[in-house]
Structure 1
Amino acid sequence: MAPNDSVESNGGTRGTAGGRRRAARYIVPVSVAGVAAATIGLVPALASTGDPDLPKITAQQLIEKIAASDTERLSGTVKISTDLGIPSLGGLAGSFAQGGDDGGKGGSTADPQAKMTELASGTHTLRVAVDGPDKQRVSILENAAEYSLIHNGDQVWAYDSKSNQAYHTTGGRAGQDSGKKAEHSAPAPESVPTTPKAFAEQALKAAGPTTSVTVDGTARVAGRDAYKLVIKPKESGSTIGSVTVAVDAQNGVPLKFTLLSSSGGKAVVDAGFTKVDFAKPAASSFTFTPPKGAEVTEGDDAKAQREADGPEGLGMFPGADGLGAGGSGAKDAKVIGEGWNAIAEIRTPGGTGLPSKESGDVPAEAQQFLDSLGDKVSGKFGSGRVFKTRVVNALMTDDGRVYVGAVTPDALVKAADGAS
């Protein structure tokens, strides 16, 4: 019992004071409860203070706002995080693309086709600048190094400060015609998105009867008011859960892009501006002179060879250029299904699948390694292996067919059975 409880029996003012103290023992908790209740009531308001109060807009109006955006000048910093569920590519992508890691023999480490594929894994910080359709620049910031890709008129330069190698080609933006309207993206190969707008355009290509498109509130991105456009597949079977695009409320430029997997977990792709300025970038942003001693590779011949070799796409959306679209060179490819559940069927040259011990293609001791590649599956089509990422999955059958798409492994098996 608390010491003050005894004063109640002593009468006089001591009893009055004690009564006040006793009352206070009950009043204070009630007051705290009241403050707590009021605070709980304020939580939603406090939590939403970062979401601007903007005029209502429909999904169709927001899509039209993106399409009608005439903003052709901007600069800023973009953070891209990609988690496809595969090991970080790091410099491996460049090494494989060039046939080795010695730029002098296998190709330039500044080659955009090799370098930009590194964005397919890990977290990267980019600086971007755009001034109309003929001037773009993107720089990938690395530890004590920087990779820059610059398009100015009919000149395209790339420079890797780590290796002091430069890459030069002419004829406009790398991989695209110089006459195209500015797309607020970097002068990268067109199948490698580098800004929220480039990602959003790929996703919007998939919008159709199989797609749900809604507006889900507002947000603040890089200090700008934005609407949130949400794109979702209507049918099951796709590995893509949803795509959210934060669209600048004033000028219609996508500021942030987030792709979630249907299996949950962290974002597969999260690309957004952390800083953005729509003023005219400095002219010096688009000028480049190779530093003294830099090794310069002319890229026209290499580019023509890559185009002859076939599609290079990293696209992860149905209908986008690249994977699943049956690009140039994929003459034996066909598309099964439509929309988000589209699957590309490709016949491998010679009609052969992975080598196996039974076929005598590999020694018995190597079979254990091969067995660790993918999951063994079977069906009416025969047997094969499924290779999985968080978005794109592929089934390679033993008779040399490949089924690939942003769909579940079960959907791939079903497609292979239907095609048998």
Structure 2
Amino acid sequence: MAPNDSVETNGGTRGTAVGRRKAARYIVPVAVAGVAAATIGLVPALASTGDPDLPEITAQQLIEKIAASDTQQFSGTVKISTDLGIPSLGGLAGSFAQGGSGGDKGDSGADPQKKMTELASGTHTLRVAADGPDKQRVSILDNAAEYSLIRNGDQVWAYDSSSNEAYHATEDGSGTKAEHSAPAPESVPTTPKALAEQVLKAAGPTTSVTVDGTARVAGRDAYKLLIKPRQSGSTIGSVTVAVDAKNGVPLKFTLLPSSGGKAVVDAGFTKVDFGKPAASSFTFTPPKGTKVTEADDAQAQRKTDGGKGPGMFPGAEGLGAGGLGAGDKGGKDTKVIGEGWNAIAEIRTPGGTGLPSKASGDVPAEAQQFLDALGNKVSGKFGSGTVFKTRLVNALMTDDGKVYVGAVTPDTLVKAANNAA
């Protein structure tokens, strides 16, 4: 294989698509294609033995191909495997994401805020479809049950066949979601392109981008784009995106941890068709007997029950879905330390208190043993605290009530806390 070309990106790549129609097209912002000015060594990569024999292409050209892709119609099957090194999240994670307990009267078993968090662990098979900016569908297949999230124009429906519950929201006339509406399918990273978009938007001087040969994915020829941190200290080792050689659509996304072992996230099409999906894919009528929850009613009930509820992690509202970046300021109790792959959120917890402890008399000895088993005790200039680890995101909670969290190693978190002390 010929030497790979290398691309360094500049700060201009952090621009985001404006308006729902651009976002719904799953297109990487055109600003990503502006990395040519910082490109060093435009040496194309060649296909290795046994892989598709495709024309030579540079990383810069491949990024531009992704950005220029105007494919708005597709349907197919996606397999997503996620291994964060933690037990299955299921409804527990959904409760935290929703900001309340699972038993609230306003809750629905079909609420997307809860259901989609199940993709954060285990292996799942999804059926996906899109027809332009106003019609998308994502269905999670689980044995005999199916969960579907559907948008058709300004109407968003979610339906859980196992509980026979539905969740309904309406977008406002401007094309943006109403205050209490559910997330539309394109806002959930359930396709390789949506995942790749998040990574490429964050690309900057701390990132190496190369072409790493070719592959066959879902019966289609593809180039492999390899994205790696230039910094040390990140839990992310590399990201590989298989890009359709014909239309520039990412077909497979694989994130490997810097610690080694199997992928943390492996999402790819097993079957794909770029023709126009059937109109029936985007229509939904609740079956007879379905319990339907309106988004506005659910939000109003949560406010009645005390707002966000006890499940909201302190400061979590300051962390955007797109991840951390050098330009992000976070919420009023959150600030971002560092940049690129080593960005860390520093969160001040309400009241400035850390985890409850036996010494403070807040918890019995048995409960303290359980808390200790969840993390590792650390100390430094900042004082002392506990590190909670996964294969991708780690968090340090200090005893004086600060939380440091990011896709970085525990040592990097401790160093950040020491520097902030």
Q: How high is the TM-score relative to the length of structure 2?
A: 0.80
Of 261, 266, 270, which residue of structure 2 is paired with 1:265? 261
Contact 1:317/1:340 (<8 A) preserved: no
1:366: how far off? 2.5
Tell me the amino acid that sits aligned with residue 287 of structure 1.
T
1:363: how far off? 2.6
Identity of aligned residues (%): 80
Cα displacement string for residues 401-420 of structure 1 (whole angstroms, at most 9, x for unaligned residues): 00000000000000000000
- Which residues of 2 match residues 184-195 of structure 1 at below 5 A? 187-188=184-185, 190=187, 192-195=188-191
1:91: how far off? 3.4
Contact 2:170/2:177 (<8 A) preserved: no
Cα displacement string for residues 55-99 of structure 1 (whole angstroms, at most 9, x for unaligned residues): 111111111111111000000000000000000113333355474
Identify the residue that residue 353 of structure 1 maps to in structure 2. 354
Tell me the amino acid that sits aligned with residue 134 of structure 2.
D
* 2:337 corresponds to 1:336: yes
1:371: how far off? 1.7
Q: Distance in 1 between matches of 2:391 and 2:318?
A: 20
Cα displacement string for residues 180-206 of structure 1 (whole angstroms, at most 9, x for unaligned residues): xxxxxx93383x410001100111122
SS, match of residue 60 in structure 2: helix
Question: Which consecutive residues of structure 1, in runs of 5 or more, have no partner in the other structure?
Answer: 1-46, 180-185
* 2:284 corresponds to 1:284: no
Question: Which consecutive residues of structure 2, in runs of 5 or more, have no partner in the other structure?
Answer: 1-47, 309-315
Cα displacement string for residues 232-252 of structure 1 (whole angstroms, at most 9, x for unaligned residues): 001110000000000011111
Identify the residue that residue 88 of structure 2 maps to in structure 1. 88
Q: Distance in 2 between matches of 1:292 and 1:311?
A: 37
CA separation of 1:348 and 1:313: change in aligned 2, threshold 3 A: closer
SS, match of residue 411 in structure 1: helix
Tell me which protein shows more helix as a share of its residues: 1
Q: Distance in 1 between matches of 2:285 and 2:101?
A: 27
Higher relative contact order (CA 8 A, sep 6+): 2
1:369: how far off? 1.8
Q: Distance in 1 between matches of 2:373 and 2:62?
A: 46
Q: Distance in 2 between matches of 1:313 and 1:142?
A: 30
* 2:248 corresponds to 1:252: yes
Q: Distance in 2 between matches of 1:159 and 1:302?
A: 15
SS, match of residue 61 in structure 1: helix
Contact 2:151/2:185 (<8 A) preserved: no
SS, match of residue 374 in structure 2: coil
Tell me the amino acid that sits aligned with residue 295 of structure 1.
K
CA separation of 1:118 and 1:403: change in aligned 2, threshold 3 A: same
Cα displacement string for residues 225-280 of structure 1 (whole angstroms, at most 9, x for unaligned residues): 11100000011100000000000111111000000000000000000000000000
Identify the residue that residue 416 of structure 2 maps to in structure 1. 415
CA separation of 1:218 and 1:277: change in aligned 2, threshold 3 A: same
Identify the residue that residue 34 of structure 1 maps to in structure 2. none
Identify the residue that residue 226 of structure 1 maps to in structure 2. 222
Q: Distance in 1 between matches of 2:128 and 2:403?
A: 37
* 2:319 corresponds to 1:319: no
Task: Give the structure with higher Rg (CA).
Answer: 1
Q: Distance in 2 between matches of 1:79 and 1:221?
A: 12
Tell me the amino acid that sits aligned with residue 168 of structure 2.
H
SS, match of residue 91 in structure 1: helix
Q: How high is the TM-score relative to the length of structure 1?
A: 0.80
Cα displacement string for residues 166-185 of structure 1 (whole angstroms, at most 9, x for unaligned residues): 00000079xx8379xxxxxx
Identify the residue that residue 234 of structure 2 maps to in structure 1. 238
* 2:115 corresponds to 1:115: yes
CA separation of 1:384 and 1:314: change in aligned 2, threshold 3 A: same
Q: Distance in 2 between matches of 1:66 and 1:172?
A: 30
Identify the residue that residue 21 of structure 2 maps to in structure 1. none
Tell me the amino acid that sits aligned with residue 82 of structure 2.
T
SS, match of residue 48 in structure 1: coil
Tell me the amino acid that sits aligned with residue 393 of structure 1.
N
Tell me the amino acid that sits aligned with residue 220 of structure 1.
R
How many pairs align? 358
Identify the residue that residue 381 of structure 1 maps to in structure 2. 382
Q: Distance in 2 between matches of 1:230 and 1:205?
A: 15
CA separation of 1:55 and 1:216: change in aligned 2, threshold 3 A: same
CA separation of 1:325 and 1:160: change in aligned 2, threshold 3 A: farther
Q: Distance in 1 between matches of 2:184 and 2:129?
A: 10
CA separation of 1:380 and 1:364: change in aligned 2, threshold 3 A: same
Contact 2:358/2:365 (<8 A) preserved: yes
Contact 1:260/1:269 (<8 A) preserved: yes
Cα displacement string for residues 263-298 of structure 1 (whole angstroms, at most 9, x for unaligned residues): 000000000000000000000000000000000000
Identify the residue that residue 143 of structure 2 maps to in structure 1. 143
